[in-house]
Amino acid sequence: MAPTYIVIVILASLMIGLSKGGFGGPVPVAMLTPLLSLIMPAPQATGIVLPLLIFADIFALRSYWKTWDIKIVKLMLPMGVLGVIMGSILLGALKDQDMLFRRILGAFTLAVVIFKLINDHLNTVQYQHRDWHAYLAGWTSGFGSALANVGAPPFTAYMLLQGVTPLVFIGTTTLFFAIVNALKLPGVFITGVLTTNDILSILWALPIIPVGVWLGRKFVKWINPVIFERFMLVLLCIMGMFLLFYTPPGR
């Protein structure tokens, strides 16, 4: 394995751990596919992240067991499943069209930044709940997660409007995406986006994830999370622009 590959996979694993540990929200996970697409085809980057996320979900579920709002999960999940199916089909169709997928990934990445900026102002919104809001958020989250691992921002936007406690917020997010990530697994194998060799190539990185979870919990106390989030959003915006507009020589 090339040194660049090792360094980027380590960074990706740490970002997963930080996010699951409660630090940085969905932004670190949104960074994963753009980051890994620097060293591999973008569709493969989407697939190879999945085993790392599923492994991290085990720790997150254990940490936040039964702190979720099961009514919200049940309301969002059916359309979330449909979104996963549709996103997986599109991902499979684009797996051999790397440049087109990079453009789509760049657009999704910039959309994450916009979602996050909107989220920061949702506490001032006078909100009246409608079930279709949950259906739309569930579908968008499932679709974005399956296509490019960027399903968390629309889910987060919906959850911020529900007025739940921080613990219920994290617990509900943990359960929903643990289910969504598990549902994505058959699709990435069927479409060939993820192979057994891909999984074997990143097994060495799994022990980094619990370290990231531990650091995530510590960083909440040590580092200003607002500054960290803004830094990550700037990087995310740069990577989104790069994916959207840059064409490598010879393509």
pLDDT per residue as tens digits for the range 138-160: 999 999 899 888 888 788 878 87
User: Which pair of structure tokens corresponds to residue 18?
Assistant: 């930080």
Say what the pLDDT of residue 3 is. Answer: 87
31-71 pLDDT tens trace: 788 888 888 888 888 899 999 999 999 988 888 899 999 99
Is the pLDDT confidence value at 124 over 90?
no
CA distances from 122 to 76, 103, 127, 145, 162 (A): 19, 29, 9, 22, 10
Average pLDDT, rounded, for the chain: 84
- Calpha distance 119→17 (Å, rounded): 22
Radius of gyration of the chain (CA): 17
Range scoring the smallest mean pLDDT among 155-164, 175-184, 213-222? 213-222
DSSP string covering 2-42, please? Answer: -HHHHHHHHHHHHHHHHHHTTSSTTHHHHTHHHHHTTTS-H
- Calpha distance 103→108 (Å, rounded): 9
Is the pLDDT confidence value at 251 over 60?
no
Higher pLDDT, 202 or 242: 202
CA distances from 12 to 73, 186, 197, 210 (A): 27, 22, 18, 13
Say what the pLDDT of residue 122 is. Answer: 62
8 Å CB contact between 214 and 18: no
Is the pLDDT confidence value at 119 over 80?
no
